[in-house]
Structure 1
Amino acid sequence: MVSKYNLKHIDIISRRSRNDYKASNDRFPGQQQPRDRTVHGGKLRGDLASALKGFDESRPNDPRTDPVKGAFLEVELKRGGVADKLERKKSGVKPLAARLDAAENKVVGLFVPDEARAVLAHVLEEYHTGPLTEDTNNPPQKSFVDPIESFRQARLETFWTDDPAALPDDPTHWMWWEVWCVKSAEADLEELAEQLDARCAAVDQRLQFPEHVVIPVYANRTMIEIMLFGRFAIMELRRATDNPTFFLDTLDDDDQIAWTDDLANRVQWPVSDAPSVCLLDSGVNRGHHLIEPALATNEQDAVVKSWGVDDSGPFPGHGTQMAGLALHGDLTFRLGSSLPYELRHRLESVKILPPPGAKATEERFYGSVTKSAVSIAETNHPDRRRVFCMAVTNDGVSGIQPTTWSAAIDQEAAGVTIGGEQAPRRLFVISAGNAPNPIMMRDVQPVDTLAIEDPAQAWNALVVGGYTDKIDIQEPELADYKPMSDAGELSPFTRSSTLWTKGRSPYKPDIVMEAGNRAVDPTEQTVVDTNSLSVLTSGPDVSRKPLTAFRATSAATAEASRLAARLMERHPDYWPETIRGLMVHGAEWTDKMRRVLDPLGKTDAAALLRHFGYGVPSFERAVASAENHLALVAQSEIQPYTSSGGRSFKDCHYYDLPWPAAALELLGDREVKLKITLSYFVEPNPGALSTLDAYRYQSFGLRFDLKRRNETLTNFKKRVNVTERADRFDKPPSGSDDGKWRFGPDSISCGSLHSDEWSGPAAHLLTRDVLCIKPVGGWWRGRADAKVCNKKSRYALIVSIKTPDQSVTLHTDISAIITQSVAVGTDIEIDF
């Protein structure tokens, strides 16, 4: 059967125009309520004096180090307070680590140079007793002082931003610490560590970020306290995790060598320059008949050459199982057919886990190992388009905040280099991590309690969770068993991000794919894994048992990588940002997921994104359009900020959407669905402050806004862009939106991928015909030098319209409009 999705997506870049942009609320969030300054100022002055005295009396003294010329304090901010406002650049007062306490207040470490003590005391005195300002009748220094609840003496715990239970109490306990060091103080920290007989990891095992260098340090707690309070060098501390694990449960299938050979003979194998799925895994056993023609010997490598390239990691077989799915998908369907088929993408393999018996010291440094693997693949084949596929996670480490590993993936995706040059952007497809796999039903944990694991919090990665359609149990010995999940529900193997911090953590997973199911006994006491509820893939025992069962989010991730590589082959001009956007845009929820989503309000529905993501992707919907379900695509550059005349926003883009009036009027009150997806890659700036404020992590952010039904074009532009107003406070009355968005703007406020769906009468869409892409805050604007502030970056915009009416010719009508269209406003030259 020929698919109805056989038409090209429509390029709408010709419908784009730009204008200077200024936000309606040109401030970062976190404005504070006024205080009683007499009471508050007096309290803080006492707090500061007491905290400074306490630090001076209790700071660690060691004859091997000189005392730091400053004090470390702990500052508590009221809810909504912005830690950046504590910084006073002229006097050297600088915020360091930050975390949330049990009451959701921010606790921030603060370094106060000795010469700045008097400055800080004077600031508090001015706030406490100084004359009120003439224009606003506020106390002086209000923006600095008002958010502060208290000053306290800093402790090591002040700078610990990891799980509190992981901080050792024993002062002699040795472990690897993840030390987030001030970038300019790296050599100073190395010298101090050497004096204390601690050990810093080698330079190639460190990660560089805009404001930090992350150094694994082997030391005990006492040494770390001396290093922390003996220099102004350490911004924050975490544990250096060393427990990466693969999620795999392998059940051997019967020997099916004849089936395998038959299928291998039916495949038209890919050409040498085809796009590839690059597996960052345990290696691949290339001798498999279903793998060898698509994986050349010079397409296999390892981050340590002595490891070899075969599948012999700590969990042998996993890489080979991933390889079969990444190439062919579920082999059940391929083996059951006698037809030939064409394979248009290849494999690459970079082994990132050492084989048994090899030194495993680099397992602590998965950020740098991942970067090395990317470099190896691109050095071997620099011109190849590829998808990086990784199904490795840190067991038990929640992705609730950015880590060195997740930030390294964000850097690689965005093409960030230490020297500042722009490297290629890259698409990473990574797994959400697996649920525990208990035997007893009483031990099964709800998905809400199982947080997606590090590094799947990476903003720029496409993160894959698991659902299942596998419900047909075939094993005779399990005849009375039933599937644990119904068809279309989440797989028992998957995790969610419902435990992550609302408003500061991106929605993950982005999509869900087949991850298999489990079987429950008739008494509902025990649960087992079974072949019939799994997918079929290539087995590592290539000469005897070339087929094996596979499941969990590893299987889902391999399938998603395959889909991405196929899209790359079909659309060689599409960027990685666009491929990611198309996969999410083409995803849909199953009926079971919709039964949960549809009755809920926007807040609850948005929370369920943390279960299902945007649904199950479809290659058909992602790769092409149909007459009654078409996609409009634009790839563009934008300059979010400018340093000219002070740091401010720079560009916004308007898109004149080419709606066919006659067709929409004919549809009238019949429902149509409009979906908008915006995909871009941010340059990360990780650290504790970024955990509390997304604007500190992202280099820039973008949002979209659609003209409302009863809104004129002039009023729309004035509403979204202060530059369009003669008076910045003259915001036109526009009324509220129609409430027909599934999630709404408040639910797509974090991350680097935003997608929402509007449903309503087709006629109502006629006047909703202009879209604005506008910037929001990011560290490029406020904390970078002028050159960085003025940088451009890319985004992919996808807009689709869908109607169940099969008789419409929307694609034909819109294509005709595009050929004779002009953009709204003044055209500009597109600079790619």
Structure 2
Amino acid sequence: MARHPHLVLRDTGETKTFTSTRTVITGPFLTPPRDDRQGHGQGLVASIRTAASIPDTEDEAERPEGITLEFESDPGFALKLESLERQRSGIELVNVREANDRMYATVFVPTDKVAVFLKTFERYIDEETESGAPKNKELVESINSVRRAALRSFWMDTKPFPSAAGGIWWEIWLRNEGVGTGVVEKFRSEAQRVGITVGQRLVRFPERLVLLAEASIEQWERFRNLFDLLAELRAATKVPTDFVELTPTEQARQIQSALTRITPPTEDAPAVCLLDTGVNRSHPLLEIALNEEHLLATDPGWTPADRKGHGTEMAGLALYGCLTELLDRDEPVVLSHRLESVKILPDEGGNKPEHYGAITAEAVARAEVQSPTRNRAICMAVTAEKRDEGLPTSWSAAVDQLCSGALDSNRRLMFVSAGNTPLDTRHEYPERNYLEGVEDPSHAWNVVTVGAYTER
């Protein structure tokens, strides 16, 4: 209990107007010059009418729910995207992409709303605002051309559009609004009719449904009313199993192929310094970025090599990210950083908990003595199971001291794992993650704590 009453300050506030120190500058939306207003507007109207002309059919299943248009801008200019969509009318901006300095937008227009959509362009031709400018000027003049969408209009991947005659795996993004119910069922039913193999897994987002399918271009062309459902197409991500199951000879061939495309980092490039179980640098993909003299250990009696595998795997991840992406593509790769390794764990047994902080500081010091002028980010995926509900520990305090530069004015960037789950509980994912707390020293204030990361 307090021995004296609390001090409460009253009526000390003063209201003042706020003036931002930053000036927000918003420029006008720029469109290319259109010298022939009538000709430009009438040309777009004619193109939309042509795209909207759908042959009559007695088969209800073959009748599309709308038309899908592809709009293209002039080089160096953007489309007025927000004006292409009319949510109340079901007119949906399906996707936007940029290529060759032009912007492309794919828009779905329900059949019974084509006239409403056309009216926007007709008003540009015939009507003016109070200032004398054509109505809908920014939208219409931002458009260079419009055509009926093709399969390529939905391709959103960085890879070139597939040209193979046979079937390949695609990542399908379906529209999840404005197309009624049963989107997936409609897709699967028609896919079965044309012989497309559809994966069982489905990822749901508020406006999109994502699944995988194996199909050829010819099969997509026979898919009735595909554009009623489709939002985007991407290349399906290759699974690592395809590479893991290669024979040693095949793996070596893949590695050599990758090395021909890789430009090693310069000797003075910044580094990722790994505090882990050591690294086996003899792997061809690692030795080009990890010099022998940068293989260190906190105990001079230890070998800096990796006997447990974890540090070597972390090295590959730190240098290349997902190896599947590296091996599955043909683009050149320029490495912009190097690796350093300081072994902080013995091959047998473990360190004493009271020494964790000192060992970490020793590891960082050894890397800095070896290359004192190098810029580096420190990566430590090693944690301890002890948890103190966020209270500081000797380890977290030592890490905070290192990163803040409290002792030597040398601030450091360190990434620390939020924790490590035991191998025998991996099958309990993701429920286990909700039960486990962060581990020491990831609760340190001055580190970047990483729980999980993926680009898949």
- The question of 1:101 aligning with 2:99 is answered yes
Deviations 1:88-145 (CA, angstroms, capped at 9, x unpaired): 112222122332222x2111222122222222221112223312234xx643223433
In 1, are the aligned partners of 2:405 and 2:412 still within 8 Å (CA)? no
- In structure 2, the CA distance between the partners of 1:198 and 1:551, relative to structure 1 (3 Å rule), is closer
Relative to the length of structure 2, the TM-score reads: 0.53
1-structure distance, mates of 2:206, 2:32: 35
Q: Which amino acid aligns with 2:135?
A: P
1-structure distance, mates of 2:311, 2:412: 39
Unaligned runs of 5+ in 1: 1-18, 248-312, 318-394, 396-435, 448-466, 468-484, 492-510, 521-525, 541-546, 564-568, 571-586, 595-613, 632-671, 678-795, 801-832
Matching residue within 159, 168, 180 for 1:175: 168
Q: Which amino acid aligns with 1:623?
A: V
Q: Which amino acid aligns with 2:305?
A: L
Number of residue pairs matched by the alignment:
326
Q: Name the SS for the 2:316 alignment partner.
A: helix
Partner residue in 1 for 2:400: 624
In 1, are the aligned partners of 2:197 and 2:213 still within 8 Å (CA)? yes
How far off is 1:201 after superposition? Answer: 1.6
Partner residue in 2 for 1:537: 306
How far off is 1:187 after superposition? Answer: 2.7
Partner residue in 2 for 1:145: 140
How far off is 1:46 after superposition? Answer: 1.2
Matching residue within 220, 225, 232 for 1:224: 220
Within-5 A mapping of 1:436-455: 437-438=255-256, 443=260, 445-446=262-263
Partner residue in 2 for 1:615: 377
In 2, are the aligned partners of 1:123 and 1:141 still within 8 Å (CA)? yes
Within-5 A mapping of 1:370-381: none
In 1, are the aligned partners of 2:68 and 2:107 still within 8 Å (CA)? yes
How far off is 1:512 after superposition? Answer: 6.1
Partner residue in 1 for 2:316: 553
Query: Larger strand proportion, structure 1 or 2?
Result: 1
Q: Which amino acid aligns with 2:157?
A: D
Q: Name the SS for the 2:93 alignment partner.
A: strand
Deviations 1:581-602 (CA, angstroms, capped at 9, x unpaired): xxxxxx9xx76655xxxxxxxx
1-structure distance, mates of 2:159, 2:282: 35
Question: Cα RMSD over matched residues?
Answer: 5.7
2-structure distance, mates of 1:236, 1:197: 20
Partner residue in 1 for 2:359: none
2-structure distance, mates of 1:76, 1:797: 51
Q: Which amino acid aligns with 1:193?
A: A
- The question of 1:314 aligning with 2:245 is answered yes
2-structure distance, mates of 1:129, 1:196: 46
- In structure 2, the CA distance between the partners of 1:180 and 1:130, relative to structure 1 (3 Å rule), is same
Relative to the length of structure 1, the TM-score reads: 0.32
Partner residue in 1 for 2:40: 43
In 2, are the aligned partners of 1:180 and 1:237 still within 8 Å (CA)? yes
1-structure distance, mates of 2:140, 2:410: 49
Partner residue in 1 for 2:190: 192
Q: Which amino acid aligns with 1:162?
A: D
2-structure distance, mates of 1:26, 1:49: 40
- In structure 2, the CA distance between the partners of 1:20 and 1:110, relative to structure 1 (3 Å rule), is farther
Q: Name the SS for the 1:157 alignment partner.
A: helix
In 1, are the aligned partners of 2:72 and 2:105 still within 8 Å (CA)? yes
Deviations 1:572-630 (CA, angstroms, capped at 9, x unpaired): xxxxxxxxxxxxxxx9xx76655xxxxxxxxxxxxxxxxxxx73357989831379735
Partner residue in 2 for 1:119: 116
2-structure distance, mates of 1:206, 1:23: 48
Within-5 A mapping of 1:398-797: 437-438=255-256, 443=260, 445-446=262-263, 486=267, 489=269, 513=274, 536-538=305-307, 552-554=315-317, 615-617=377-379, 623-625=399-401, 629=405
2-structure distance, mates of 1:139, 1:799: 57
Q: Which amino acid aligns with 1:130?
A: E
- In structure 2, the CA distance between the partners of 1:39 and 1:533, relative to structure 1 (3 Å rule), is same
Deviations 1:773-804 (CA, angstroms, capped at 9, x unpaired): xxxxxxxxxxxxxxxxxxxxxxx99789xxxx
Matching residue within 35, 55, 71 for 2:67: 71
Rg (Cα) greater in structure: 2
2-structure distance, mates of 1:191, 1:550: 43
Deviations 1:228-256 (CA, angstroms, capped at 9, x unpaired): 74451100112223342699xxxxxxxxx
- In structure 2, the CA distance between the partners of 1:80 and 1:519, relative to structure 1 (3 Å rule), is same
How far off is 1:548 after superposition? Answer: 11
Within-5 A mapping of 1:319-338: none
- In structure 2, the CA distance between the partners of 1:193 and 1:628, relative to structure 1 (3 Å rule), is closer
In 2, are the aligned partners of 1:512 and 1:617 still within 8 Å (CA)? yes
- In structure 2, the CA distance between the partners of 1:109 and 1:219, relative to structure 1 (3 Å rule), is same
2-structure distance, mates of 1:228, 1:30: 44
In 1, are the aligned partners of 2:45 and 2:121 still within 8 Å (CA)? no
- In structure 2, the CA distance between the partners of 1:519 and 1:239, relative to structure 1 (3 Å rule), is closer
Structure with greater contact order relative to length (CA < 8 Å, sep ≥ 6): 1
1-structure distance, mates of 2:170, 2:403: 57
Partner residue in 2 for 1:157: 152
2-structure distance, mates of 1:797, 1:548: 22
In 2, are the aligned partners of 1:98 and 1:109 still within 8 Å (CA)? yes
How far off is 1:158 after superposition? Answer: 1.1
How far off is 1:214 after superposition? Answer: 0.6
- In structure 2, the CA distance between the partners of 1:45 and 1:552, relative to structure 1 (3 Å rule), is farther
In 2, are the aligned partners of 1:37 and 1:128 still within 8 Å (CA)? no
1-structure distance, mates of 2:133, 2:413: 43
Deviations 1:347-384 (CA, angstroms, capped at 9, x unpaired): xxxxxxxxxxxxxxxxxxxxxxxxxxxxxxxxxxxxxx
1-structure distance, mates of 2:160, 2:232: 16
- In structure 2, the CA distance between the partners of 1:152 and 1:31, relative to structure 1 (3 Å rule), is farther
In 1, are the aligned partners of 2:196 and 2:219 still within 8 Å (CA)? yes
- The question of 1:32 aligning with 2:41 is answered no
1-structure distance, mates of 2:403, 2:413: 18
Q: Which amino acid aligns with 2:306?
A: T
In 1, are the aligned partners of 2:400 and 2:446 still within 8 Å (CA)? no
Q: Which amino acid aligns with 2:90?
A: G
Q: Which amino acid aligns with 2:87?
A: K
1-structure distance, mates of 2:258, 2:169: 36
How far off is 1:151 after superposition? Answer: 0.8
Q: Which amino acid aligns with 1:446?
A: T
Query: Identity of aligned pairs, percent?
Result: 18
Within-5 A mapping of 1:270-285: none
- The question of 1:235 aligning with 2:52 is answered no
Q: Which amino acid aligns with 1:181?
A: L
